[in-house]
């Protein structure tokens, strides 16, 4: 502690006051407590220059910018710095934490969850789908949604509002939309995609509608705080919190067949009725759409990343549906460890540092006709170096029927150039 606190002085104009202030080298934290808000007492500290730039309260009018900082009347607060910061500060070394390599104090107040939820809550809606049966109105399903545009555009889940009859999607019935403020509207399904489980519902209002802001899911890391909002079990205005458990959970990990999909895994409490509701970060931005949970387990819930949802919305606006190119390749991302293992198994495995392995080619598919072979390693796609399946998907986008030049490496380092023409994927896959 001597390393951080050189000198502290205390003065008070009242008789009975408790003031506690501490700076610890182990946790690099600062705690200031007052039990007498009317007191005129002050605490002065002499703090090393290297620490000042990391303190979260710089610029506050109650602090004097000098060698001795004066602490005025404050409510209880706790500031916690990443443990790496304390160690590096002690060594006098620069610290890279978070985006851009800038130090971050990681400050979270006691109401950070409440503040984030409050930004989104007015835009969270309940959708109940009703159907008349022999003159009686019955509720068939209930889900959640979020107003993302002031024109009444609501983002929700497809399985809650549409039925699949072959390739035709039909609305399950009349959709009643209830806002947090109690207003009710009749909704209409504008677009839906069962493969991604995303749908757009529209309502019309003569008065302004609250909206929520879309964030970015690519910035999420395992351990980040997130908030799930919606109407589980018909309990409106429900908020649960947790952390991100995995940022790229594959559909194959969950035993879901068909085309490749990725989910955000969290430990937020999700139940029937939460589907379609927003997953929110601590900045009050939507980073996912809650879709499902593992029924036999607690703390295993899954959301569609908002970056994927944004692309789906763009497809809706451009084509009225989601267009997915299909090559007929099963692919696997390679890394140094996998490459090393494959070389041990087969000395003929090509010399590559990165790329995508093709373990299987579907007979009769565009890839088969283009000349792909099992064992090929894709190193270039449409003239760009690639090292992940995600990059290939982004390059293809919605390019159906347009030739794509591909470079692959084969056994004994044979380099082959191929041209493949994607077809539209079967929606039932």
Q: How many CB atoms lie within 10 A of CB 226?
A: 25
Whole-angstrom distance, CA of residue 227 vs CA of residue 47: 37
Determine whether 176 is an active site residue.
no
Catalytic residue among 79, 141, 196, 197: 197
Pairing of strands 42-46, 7-11: antiparallel
Residue 409 burial class via C-beta count within 10 angstroms: exposed 0-12, middle 13-18, buried 19 and up: buried
Look up 275 and say whether it is catalytic.
Answer: yes
**Bridge partners of residue 193, in order along the sequence:** 198
To 5 degrees, how large is the angle CA 362–CA 366–CA 372?
65
Torsion angle of the four alpha carbons 290, 296, 299, 304, in this order, in degrees rounded to the nearest 10: -20
> Cα–Cα distance between 292 and 302 in angstroms, integer?
5
Count of other CB atoms within 10 angstroms of residue 426: 11
Token pair for 171: 């609305």
d(CA 359, CA 346): 14
Alpha carbon dihedral 307, 308, 314, 319, in 10-degree steps, equals 170
Catalytic one among 144, 217, 275, 308?
Answer: 275
Q: Are 261 and 275 in contact (CB under 8 A)?
A: no
Phi then psi for residue 421, to 5 deg, are: -115, 105
What span, in angstroms and rounded, lies between the C-alpha atoms of 149 and 152? Answer: 6
Strand 329-333 relative to strand 124-133, pairing: unpaired
**Residue 197 falls in the annotated catalytic set:** yes
The residue annotated as part of the active site, out of 128, 144, 159, 217, is 159
Question: Which tokens belong to 205?
Answer: 């209002």
Positions marked catalytic: 159, 197, 275
């Amino acid at each position: 502690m001597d390393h951080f606190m050189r000198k502290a002085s205390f003065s008070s104009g009242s008789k009975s006051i408790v003031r506690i202030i501490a700076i610890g080298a182990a946790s690099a934290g600062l705690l200031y407590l007052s039990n007498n808000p009317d007191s005129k007492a002050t605490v002065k500290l002499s703090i090393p220059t290297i620490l000042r730039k990391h303190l979260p309260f710089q610029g506050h009018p109650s602090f004097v910018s000098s060698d001795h900082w004066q602490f005025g009347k404050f409510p209880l607060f706790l500031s916690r710095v990443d443990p790496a910061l304390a160690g590096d500060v002690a060594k006098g070394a620069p610290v890279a934490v978070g985006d851009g390599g800038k130090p971050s104090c990681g400050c979270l107040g006691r109401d950070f969850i409440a503040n984030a939820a409050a930004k989104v809550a007015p835009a969270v809606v309940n959708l109940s789908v009703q159907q008349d049966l022999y003159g009686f109105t019955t509720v068939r399903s209930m889900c959640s949604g979020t107003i993302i545009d002031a024109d009444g555009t609501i983002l929700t889940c497809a399985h809650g509002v549409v039925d699949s009859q072959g390739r035709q999607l039909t609305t399950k019935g009349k959709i009643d939309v209830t806002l947090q403020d109690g207003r009710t509207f009749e909704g209409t399904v504008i677009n839906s995609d069962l493969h991604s489980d995303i749908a757009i519902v529209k309502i019309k209002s003569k008065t302004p509608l609250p909206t929520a802001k879309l964030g970015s899911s690519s910035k999420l890391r395992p351990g980040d705080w997130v908030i799930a909002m919606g109407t589980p079990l018909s309990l409106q205005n429900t908020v649960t919190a947790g952390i991100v458990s995995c940022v790229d959970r594959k559909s194959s990990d969950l035993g879901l067949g068909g085309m490749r999909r990725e989910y955000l895994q969290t430990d937020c409490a999700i139940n029937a009725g939460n589907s379609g509701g927003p997953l929110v970060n601590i900045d009050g931005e939507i980073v996912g759409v809650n879709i499902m949970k593992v029924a036999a387990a607690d703390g295993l819930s899954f959301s569609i990343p908002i970056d994927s949802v944004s692309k789906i919305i763009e497809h809706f606006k451009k084509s009225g549906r989601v267009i997915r190119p299909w090559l007929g390749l099963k692919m696997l991302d390679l890394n140094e460890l996998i490459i090393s293992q494959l070389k041990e198994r087969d000395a003929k495995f090509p010399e590559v540092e990165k790329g995508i392995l093709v373990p299987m080619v579907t007979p009769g598919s565009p890839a088969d006709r283009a000349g792909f072979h099992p064992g090929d390693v894709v190193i270039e796609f449409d003239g760009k170096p690639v090292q992940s399946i995600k990059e290939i998907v982004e390059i293809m986008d919605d390019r159906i029927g347009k030739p794509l030049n591909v470079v692959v490496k084969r056994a004994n380092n044979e380099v082959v150039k191929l041209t493949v023409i994607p077809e539209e994927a079967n929606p039932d896959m």
